[in-house]
Structure 1
């Protein structure tokens, strides 16, 4: 069963769409409604949302901004955008960020339900039995082996000490129709952990699984990303992602966050469909294909951190502080001190700003110069709290104090602890304490 979140600043539209969905016969467990982006983010953080349906223009946070934040929290959430404006730029950006559809108001009921139906029916369930998995892979993947010469050239291009990189780029372009116009590049590497599936995997099955990983990567990236995916070593797939000047210059999208979304989506889908864990390493972004060897080395180094963090699977090179001159790994003591400092500073920032409307994980991460993904992991590991659960805990404790020790009205308390809507504040309060603010006051 599916959970759907509808977001629109017009309550009548929320109620109308919810009513349509309730009468649709779709396998829906719960429909949540929110009237601005900040309310929607609370639902995304606290509930298991499968599909987000959001208006694109909603006051202080647009649907595009909400979608970006949603994808940071849960990259696998499916999104349908609705808009009163048939603007190509908005539609293009929404699709680039992974929206499944872009619908124009006034909505046609059948068109809307058809779009939701299409998204939900394509949210495939994972294969549970491994023998069935291998049988399905053999049936669906006919092992059209990737061009070996192309694969060899791609790996030579990523080798650290390659001297004739220009000639390799030319050969790939002329003989294999692979363009490296760039000029901006990043590398994502995926290493499949065959020991995590709980059974022995034959060499033949290993090759089949690597091919499946390559297909999952291409399926996720083909529509909106200029990329090349290929085998790099046994059980490993490399992806070169490139941007031209125009797309890289688009400041409305944080490129590192996008790369992390890709990494987390790859990990999620590989585990979901194949039943195996994988480790994903993500490089910096550099300008010029002369740096592809350096980017490859960075992605490899990022994956090394899985040895220290067995319960984490997506690693961005920039999150780890290497030696300034030697680029040596820090010692365990240095790493622990660095991680403790990140969590300490994040906690301090949250304590100072938890009542700020619109506080986001992205903002806290930026203040600490780490990615949202790594900050979330470290915060949970060091404190036992999910980062946003901690924000809500501080907000609820302060609101309880104000209810018990002041004569402030509900809307005033909501305002003081960071909520725009008194109604939304009451919902969060009741979910947290089990009683409403008025019941606590009594």
Structure 2
């Protein structure tokens, strides 16, 4: 009998899942409930549990934190994630931590109960069969030339395709982690194994075949951990859908990158906005290398790209320079670089639709970034045009044509927009805010603010907080 623990901060959810699902039909029994991660750990210490269903968003200790702790303390425990919404970032992290499945509570209807439990029970049986082999091999030294690993970049879905690759008697195969399998074989049948695995790449998209050398005298456990670490840190950047076979040496140590510094992120943002990377191959390649050199994890990279797109569209979406679209999902750096390439084409086309040279367009963009990054300073069209080596009158004309506002109108606009953020999101004084957006006279700032918004700063703050 599979002993089940249900962890959710909503008592009705716990009772509903416990009473409504046909546990007995699948040789399962709910033996306990917990309202948060800490109580779940206490329960796990008190009595054995085979399967834990846990919510992700809970007070005291979240489901992710619970999974990290349980994975260390109870490696044999099977975990299924309960989630209110299909938040794939959290689900992906949960699956990476060892969850064997997830259940979206909003989609859980009576007719699905049996299907869900059947899926979970089948998964537990598969893992049990795999684990029965591991004790015999985990601490055995490898004496083969290569180990092969089929690894899917999709860490969310459950895929059964590797199971269908039947092993002959000479092959050794087992599951490394979710959507990741490894094989080896004696030298006389190794080529046959390699070609069979290579052909299997066509069965599922976004799958890589790792050909691992320097495996001799290592244990299967060491190889398994190395594959998991490589998948976590390097596969994202190494994968190419047109050449999914990746040769790697286990002598090359692969570790998590150092946490990127704010100045590293700022350098990329400056290159995106200030260098002519959309029109110059050399600058384009430099930008790509800056991105890759940080070796950001997928979540960090998504956050950086999102902030760049948001900033670009905030500055240029309402101008002739156009907006750019965010990449909604990606599984590899190859997809990100393809998006950057397509984005550069779109920006270049927007620039070419203006009547000005690329040098003038870049100069106006640079002026915008200087102003945005130094709102506490007083800039003039005369001063910036001199800094950019353009005549004042021509700079003012170009600025108005490209940005849709005169230089002075735009300068006031961005300062007032920033002051709105301060008013709604801080408790700082009006004088403090005025200084931060380049106005040394609080009364003058308030007059400009009312001209553009119809309200005094204090009225805007009061009204905005009332809405909240």
Common fold, TM-score beyond 0.5? Answer: no
Normalized against structure 2, the TM-score is what?
A: 0.32
Normalized against structure 1, the TM-score is what?
A: 0.34
Q: Which has the higher contact order (CA 8 A, sep 6+)?
A: 1
Larger Rg: 2
